[in-house]
């Protein structure tokens, strides 16, 4: 009588055989391309202000509405270790890409690889890696959001499971709610184009998916209230206003969401793209419009379902940039706009769909031309993101080296100051003021990704004292320009008369404290 208990190898083989080939390819491509784009970051320790602060611990999040973040961060260890956290992040990113290609029915090998390339290189990913200490939990949150959409769309009883996954995702990082929304809208649009469901059935299905999103948001907000009973939400990036929406503000917020696409992809205000890519995006959009028209004509959906398909196509970009509606008046930065990358995935999905549903003869030339335009455009886009990512990492690398050199000279002068004794507290007056001397590489000013800091950013930040301790080994007590000690010393006549660093006399011992006058103290 054989044993009913299967061996680990047999179970692993059975599970592997169940995974479709396109999903295996997508996962492998995502990991390998992710390594190719971000290896610079993983193989070096390139910090920013917050990463310096959380180099050895990560215990915040609840006050920002991210009640699950400290729990997940604890599983990655207390240290901000780039190689481990980077690899864990890539696994979650790969899972997200797999859920995406499955929901959007992307099956051809080249399309799967290009989709992976775009999604693992999008500038939001680079910006998140700048905050390495949170990268693994954040990208796990992204995968949870995509898994929630997958469960809600594909599983017969996925309403509760999908909502639960989205709630957990928001408990780590709220901004990925838009990813769940855009995946649901895209999947429903494809179902509408299939023409197999009645209009009423599609409406009921859409309402169910909307209910999943609404329930997830409601449960999340309730969880926030319960986890912040002892301390209120901090006003971080407008997070405390989430859920507070004035009906009068909706039109402006919706327009702001759509405008972000023009700002990023057509005007390239963030300098993410090669100069010719906005024109390629326009050409891709025209090809997609032509394909969409052919698909609608071929499917003969009728007025109601055609109108629904057009409405869903219009809602798709709004769903991908829902953060502007979620956080009205908030300070939206690059870490919060990952949903925008789905506007680049839609053309890939449409060309795949059109190839399967259109007759091979009547629209062959249009399909082939559109496929070439879309895949070449998205390949070049992914490459431009890889260039942007590595430029950002170079900026961080040079910034770290320059800040180390600057700070070494500063500490040498502090310790050589007349009257200095080891253990004396050090006060850096005017430490938060930018100065031209802190910008030795203006060539990298073009790289403007949130969290990517240069010498100036590291020197004027609130964690510069920690930088001196943790990166240069200075064990003395350091007070920065906005500290109470600095404000008290700045009022002394002898300190007001001191010249600015690095002039002679800019570093003096005053009342048992080493005073360094970097700049004139602010108000």
Task: For 343-408, give the secondary structure using H, E and C.
Answer: HHHHHHHHHHHHHHHCCCCCCHHHHHHHHHHHHHHHHHHHHHHHHHHHHHHHHHHHHHHHHHHHHH
Return the pLDDT at 236.
Answer: 58
Q: Evaluate whether 352 touches 107 at the Cβ level (below 8 Å).
A: yes
* Closest of 416, 414, 443, 449 to residue 131, by C-alpha: 449
Token pair in block for residue 295: 């698909």
Secondary-structure percent of the chain, ordered helix, strand, coil, rounded to 5: 65, 5, 30
| Sequence-ordered list of residues with C-beta below 8 angstroms from that of 266, at least 6 positions apart, any chain | 278, 281, 282
CA distances, 190 to each of 34, 60, 200, 378 (Å): 28, 40, 16, 21
pLDDT of residue 15: 87
Instruction: Give the whole-angstrom CA distance, residue 342 versus residue 148.
Output: 16
Q: Greatest CA separation found in the chain?
A: 94
- Rounded CA separation 52/470 (Å): 8
How far apart CA 491 and CA 403 sit, in angstroms, is 29
pLDDT the model gives residue 229: 76
Task: Return the residue matching tokens 């023009």.
Answer: 262
Question: Six-digit token pair at 231?
Answer: 């301390």
Instruction: Report the alpha-carbon angle 66-177-264, nearest 5.
Output: 110
Give the pLDDT score at 22.
96
Tell me the C-alpha distance between 278 and 264, whole Å.
9
For residue 241, count other CB atoms closer than 10 A to its CB. Answer: 15
pLDDT in tens, the chain (523 residues): 455 788 898 888 888 889 999 999 999 999 999 999 999 999 999 999 999 999 998 877 777 888 999 999 999 999 999 999 999 999 999 999 999 999 999 999 999 999 999 999 999 999 999 999 999 999 999 999 999 999 999 998 889 999 999 999 999 999 999 999 999 999 999 999 999 999 999 999 999 999 999 999 999 999 988 887 776 666 655 555 555 666 788 888 999 999 999 999 999 999 999 999 999 999 999 999 999 999 999 999 999 999 999 999 999 999 999 999 888 877 889 999 999 999 999 999 999 999 888 876 667 888 899 999 999 999 999 999 999 999 999 999 999 999 999 999 999 999 999 999 998 999 999 998 888 888 999 999 999 999 999 999 999 999 999 999 999 999 999 999 999 999 999 999 999 999 999 999 999 999 999 999 999 886 6
Q: At what angle do helices 364-415 and 21-42 cross, to 10 degrees?
A: 30
DSSP track, 49-75: HHHHHTSS-----GGGT-TTHHHHHHH
Phi-psi sector, 353: left (phi>0), alpha (psi -120 to 50), beta: alpha
């Amino acid at each position: 009588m054989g044993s009913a208990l299967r061996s680990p190898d047999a179970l692993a083989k059975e599970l592997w055989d169940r995974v479709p080939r396109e999903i295996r390819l997508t996962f492998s491509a995502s990991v390998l391309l992710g390594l190719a784009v971000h290896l610079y970051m993983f193989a070096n320790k390139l910090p920013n202000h917050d990463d310096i602060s959380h180099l050895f611990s990560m215990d915040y999040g609840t006050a920002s509405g991210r009640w699950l973040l400290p729990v997940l961060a604890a599983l990655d260890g207390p240290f901000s270790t780039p190689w481990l956290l980077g690899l864990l992040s890539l696994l979650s990113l790969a899972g997200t890409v797999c859920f995406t290609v499955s929901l959007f029915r992307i099956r051809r090998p080249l399309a799967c690889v290009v989709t992976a390339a775009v999604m693992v290189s999008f500038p939001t990913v680079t910006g998140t890696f700048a905050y390495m200490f949170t990268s693994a939990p954040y990208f796990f949150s992204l995968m949870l959001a995509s898994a929630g959409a997958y469960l809600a769309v594909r599983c017969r009883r996925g309403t509760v499971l999908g909502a639960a996954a989205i709630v957990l995702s928001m408990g780590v990082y709220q901004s990925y709610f838009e990813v769940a929304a855009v995946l649901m809208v895209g999947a429903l649009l494809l179902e509408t184009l299939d023409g197999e469901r009645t209009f009423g059935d599609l409406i009921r299905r859409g309402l169910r998916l909307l209910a999943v999103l609404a329930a997830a948001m409601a449960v999340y907000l309730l969880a926030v209230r319960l986890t912040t009973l002892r301390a209120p939400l901090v006003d971080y990036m407008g997070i405390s206003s989430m859920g507070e929406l004035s009906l009068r503000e909706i039109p402006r917020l919706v327009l702001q969401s759509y405008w972000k696409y023009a700002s990023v992809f057509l005007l390239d205000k963030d300098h993410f793209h090669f100069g010719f890519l906005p024109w390629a995006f326009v050409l891709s959009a025209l090809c997609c419009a032509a394909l969409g028209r052919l698909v609608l004509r071929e499917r003969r959906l009728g007025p109601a379902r055609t109108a629904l398909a057009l409405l869903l196509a219009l809602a798709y970009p709004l769903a991908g940039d829902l953060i502007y509606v979620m956080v009205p008046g908030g300070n939206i930065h690059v870490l919060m706009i990952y949903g925008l990358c789905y506007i680049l995935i839609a053309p890939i999905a449409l060309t795949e769909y059109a190839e399967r549903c259109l007759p091979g003869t009547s629209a062959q030339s249009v399909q082939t031309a559109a496929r070439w335009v879309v895949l070449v455009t998205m390949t070049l886009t992914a490459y431009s993101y890889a260039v942007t990512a590595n430029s950002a990492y170079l900026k961080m690398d040079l910034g770290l080296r320059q800040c180390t050199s600057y700070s070494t000279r500063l500490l040498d002068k502090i310790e050589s100051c007349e009257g200095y004794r080891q253990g004396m507290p050090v006060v850096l007056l005017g430490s938060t003021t930018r100065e031209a001397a802190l910008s030795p590489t203006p060539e990298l000013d073009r790289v403007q990704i949130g969290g990517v800091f240069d010498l100036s950013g590291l020197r004027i930040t609130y964690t510069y004292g920690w930088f001196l301790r943790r990166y240069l080994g200075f064990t003395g007590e350091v007070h920065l320009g906005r500290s109470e000690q600095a404000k008290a010393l700045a009022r002394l006549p002898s300190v007001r008369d001191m010249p600015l660093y690095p002039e002679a006399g800019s570093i003096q011992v005053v009342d048992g404290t080493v005073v360094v006058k970097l700049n004139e103290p602010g108000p």
